[in-house]
């Protein structure tokens, strides 16, 4: 996931556009470029958004803020549902993607 996210971050920053990539398990990885980094999101498109129980996501975040607070829940205008994290540039102009543990936390929130 980290390699895919790094590639999508480069594409989004280079083209200054939102990039989305579907995963085999139905999850979507979304990258939105910002002047000083990017927003990365993991979630479901509107056809699969029913898999997410918002109350459960909020309860998990409240119960373990040290693990989950970096991911913010978001429902987009089209009905898709994501957890979103802001990543900052590393100083060399490249945004650092979340690490494996952070991606695992995002998956747990969506489960």
pTM (predicted TM-score): 0.90
- Answer whether 37's CB lies under 8 Å from 87's CB: yes
Minimal CA–CA distance to 97: which of 29, 48, 15, 49? 29
Minimal CA–CA distance to 19: which of 11, 48, 94? 11
CA dist 60 → 20, 31, 64, 89, 103 (Å): 26, 24, 6, 28, 15
Nearest-angstrom CA–CA distance, 28 and 44: 6
Is domain 2-110 given the CATH code 3.30.1460 in the classification? yes
Spans of all domains in the chain: 2-110
The tens-digit pLDDT sequence of the chain (111 residues) is 888 998 999 999 999 999 999 998 899 999 999 998 999 999 999 999 999 999 999 999 999 999 999 999 999 999 999 999 999 987 676 778 899 999 999 999 999
């Amino acid at each position: 996931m980290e390699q895919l996210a790094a590639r999508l971050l480069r594409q989004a920053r280079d083209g200054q556009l939102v990039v989305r990539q579907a995963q085999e398990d139905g999850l979507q990885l979304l990258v939105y470029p910002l002047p000083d980094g990017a927003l990365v999101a993991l979630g479901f498109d509107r056809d699969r958004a029913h898999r997410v129980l918002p109350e459960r996501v909020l309860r998990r975040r409240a119960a373990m803020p040290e693990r989950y607070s970096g991911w913010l829940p978001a429902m987009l205008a089209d009905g898709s549902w994501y957890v979103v994290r802001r990543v900052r540039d590393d100083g060399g102009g490249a945004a650092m993607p979340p690490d494996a543990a952070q991606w695992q936390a995002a998956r747990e929130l969506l489960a």
